[in-house]
Structure formats: C-alpha cells, structure tokens
Amino acid sequence: MANINTRKAVMTLFSSPTCAMSHCARLVLFEKGVVADIEYYDPSEPPEDLLEFNPTGMSPTLIERDLVLYDSRIIMEYLDERFPHPPLHQMDPVSRANARMVIKRIDQEWYLLLDEILHSGEKKSARAKKMLKESLIAATPVFDARAYFMTDEYSLIDCALSPLLWRLPSVGIDLPSLGKAINNYAHRVFAREAFQESLSKAEKEMG
C-alpha cells in the first residue's frame, strides 16, 4: 500500500500495479496532490474489502466515503472536478469536449492495440505491435506541434497517454524508433515528479 500523504486519507484507490488504466488514475491523483491511500492488488484475486464495495473487483476502483467509482476515465474526470487545482481540463466546454474526444480516440485506437499485444496470440500480437508503432509514427506532427499532446499545457490527455508510452519498451517498441518528436514528448512527461511518483514497483521495472 502506498500513501500519497502522511495525513489520514478518506479516499482509497484500489489499483493493479501493472494495468495502464489504473496507472492513469494514479497519475491524476499525484498530479493533484490528493490525500489518498493506494492499495495495490492482483485483479485475479481481489481483496475482500474491495469486493465489499465493488463485487466485480475491477481495477482501478476509487472509494471515497459512500462513493464508489470503477472506470479509469470516470475516476480521472471526477478527480479533476473534485480537486480543481491544478486544472487538468481547460475550462471552456468546447475544449473539454474536444479533450474527451481525443482521449476516446487514444482508447479506441492505441489502447486497443496495446491490449491485443498483451493478451493475444503471437501472430495477432505481432500484427498489433506493428500497427501501434505505425499509428504512433503517423501522429508525429501532433506530437511535434505543441508542448503537450494537442495542448500547450499539461492535461488529462497527457495523463491518459503517458502510461501507454511508458509501457512500449516492455512490449518491444523502443521510443527512439518512433522518432525525435515522440521520444522528446515521452521524456518530457516521464520527467514530471507526479509521473515518477505514480509508478508502482512493477512499472518502474518496465522503464
């Protein structure tokens, strides 16, 4: 178990130590400096105190008093609204909607391929790895255009994307092979204090 702050926490995040979606939720917690307990567990053997609140045992699960949330993107949005400083979404509705669409595309295109790499047979995994690498390289102009992904300020989009990039070397995709723009972006977000603090022991080994 990791405690973000020495004060007693009223919020607990149950998290897989290796799941990218769980990492996204943890990253937002650390970016916000939220007082919370992080309880790492094996999703195949969820602890009884988690099952009491969430019978699915899904990771991540956020519990705050009577509130139980168990979808990574919902948890991220909730934390950004619950703790508005520093903001990770832009304030105007159009920008927020556009950011949500970008995250949805990241999930549907890149995370889907990462899932295939991790959980498919050798042939399908190799195909997904090739497709993910090619898709990321095709997005090089987006990585190169601004300081962060499609924005000038660090945002929830970066919280959604950086855990995926962190896992690439562990699945055989070297960041330098994706080009200078993507490699520079990755190192920029990885260097953030909150990102480093959000890493579980198992995730540190991925890097």
Rounded to an integer, the average pLDDT of 9-15 is 89
The pLDDT, as a whole number, for residue 13 is 96
Q: Does the structure show a pLDDT above 60 at 8?
A: no
Ordered by where they begin, the domains of the chain are 2-88+196-206 (3.40.30.10), 93-192 (1.20.1050.10)
| E-state strands within 26-123 | 37-40, 61-64, 67-69
Contact 11, 36 (CB under 8 A): yes
The DSSP line for 114-173 is HHHHHHS-HHHHHHHHHHHHHHHHHTHHHHHHSSBTTBSS--HHHHHHHHHHHHTGGGT-
At residue 10, the pLDDT reads 83
pLDDT value of residue 91: 81
The lowest-confidence range among 2-11, 29-38, 156-165 is 2-11
Query: pLDDT at residue 14 above 90?
Result: yes
pLDDT confidence of residue 33: 94
Q: What is the mean pLDDT of residues 96-110?
A: 96
Its pTM stands at 0.92
By annotation, the residues acting in catalysis are: 19
CA angle, 16 as apex, 197 and 164 as ends, to 5°? 65
Which residue in the block uniquely carries the two structure tokens 């890493």?
199
* Percent of all residues in the chain with a pLDDT value above 70, rounded to a whole number: 96
pLDDT of residue 2 exceeding 60, the answer is no
**Whole-number Cα distances in Å, 104 to 95, 100, 110, 123, 161:** 14, 6, 10, 27, 11
Pairwise pLDDT comparison (40 vs 206), residue with the higher score = 40
Mean per-residue pLDDT, 73-102: 93
Is the pLDDT score of 5 beyond 50? no
- Give the residue-averaged pLDDT of 87-93: 88
144 C-beta neighbours (distance < 10 Å), count: 13
Which of 65, 97, 82 shows the shortest CA–CA distance to 29?
Answer: 82
